[in-house]
Amino acid sequence: MQTSVVTGGAGFIGSHLCEYLLGKGERVIAVDNLGSGSENNLKGALKNDRFKFIRHDMREPLKIGESVDFVYNLASRASPVDFDQYPVEIMMTNSIGTYNAIDLALEHNARFLMASTSESYGDPEVSPQPETYWGRVNPVGPRSCYDESKRFSEALTMNFIWHHGLDGRIIRIFNTYGPRMRLDDGRVVPNFVTQALEGKPLTVYGDGSQTRSFCYVSDLVRGIYLMMQSPVKGEVVNLGNPNEMTVLDFARTIIQKTGSSSPIDYRPLPVNDPLQRRPDITKAKQLLGWEPEVSLDEGLKNTITWFSRNMSEIKEKLS
């Protein structure tokens, strides 16, 4: 039986990955400090005898007292609302935390996957964004704590691959959505869905002409697994949905899907907010045979249902 360690395993994407790996018959060890993740995300996994949860901050070295075959490094706050509150924590998690995850992989001679981000491309001048594009990131801007620390984590991973024999690979994750996103995440999907369900105005920044591409979480997790299982040492691969739409069109879609009468509230565009997000997934298709399968209609139906149920539960607890 193969064993996978998933750092950030109690997070939105990490918890889905843990369940997927359990479904593949693996033993799974989730590691999380529960800063932005939640044990509620692991309720299903915790019922499985092949699952173990370790509460641990990856800024500290991690020792696992059993053999490990794969290390998936997903540990990091990724919500824009956290950039102002936890900037140094984010930078240290993506630097020291990545070093500690790599050290764990090397100690066990395990294969390593670094979960990076489309934010590595910053506010791009090229669309769609291929892996060969170096990006346009402001190193001293309000988003730099996340963007630049992820870029550093990529550089650190590649240098361990080149010089220290790490069997590593890097993915760049584009906008992913689905059940278990934080209600206060601050990104466009939870913002719009919660606002629409509560009948509040949907907050659109700028004129809404900026674009995003939305990938359902099950598609992303399948891509992550394929990347880890493939002999693609040293490769960097985009994982996301290339179907691009404007934020304003997306807001209107959410209003229609929720049956809401919410108006749209236009606000100033945040500093360095990217105007385009669309992955070039040619490489993922060629190397992994991967592309998204879940339609936006199906994915939003599942997501809205989850948000509606969980918003009700939260309100009941508060009342």
**What residue has token string 């080149």?**
162
Backbone Cα Rg of the chain: 19
**Could you confirm whether 177 is annotated as catalytic?**
no
Fold held by 3-177+215-242+277-293: Rossmann fold (3.40.50)
Identify the H or E element spanning 153.
helix 144-164
Nearest C-alpha neighbor of 52 from the set 61, 60, 62: 62
Nearest-angstrom CA–CA distance, 155 and 18: 26
Q: Which distant-in-sequence residues (6+ apart) come within 8 Å of 210 by Cβ?
A: 246, 247, 269, 273, 274, 275, 276
Identify the H or E element spanning 112.
strand 111-117
Q: Which distant-in-sequence residues (6+ apart) come within 8 Å of 235 by Cβ?
A: 169, 170, 283, 287
Nearest C-alpha neighbor of 202 from the set 189, 215, 212: 189
Q: What is the pLDDT along the chain (319 residues), one digit of tens a residue?
A: 999 999 999 999 999 999 999 999 999 999 999 999 999 999 999 999 999 999 999 999 999 999 999 999 999 999 999 999 999 999 999 999 999 999 999 999 999 999 999 999 999 999 999 999 999 999 999 999 999 999 999 999 999 999 999 999 999 999 999 999 998 888 999 999 999 999 999 999 999 999 999 999 999 999 999 999 999 999 999 999 999 999 999 999 999 999 999 999 999 998 888 899 999 999 999 999 999 999 999 999 999 999 999 887 655 543 4
Q: Which residue in 146, 177, 216, 225 is the catalytic one?
A: 146
pTM score: 0.96
Say if residues 143 and 293 touch (Cβ distance below 8 Å).
no
Q: Which distant-in-sequence residues (6+ apart) come within 8 Å of 276 by Cβ?
A: 123, 124, 127, 129, 210, 211, 244
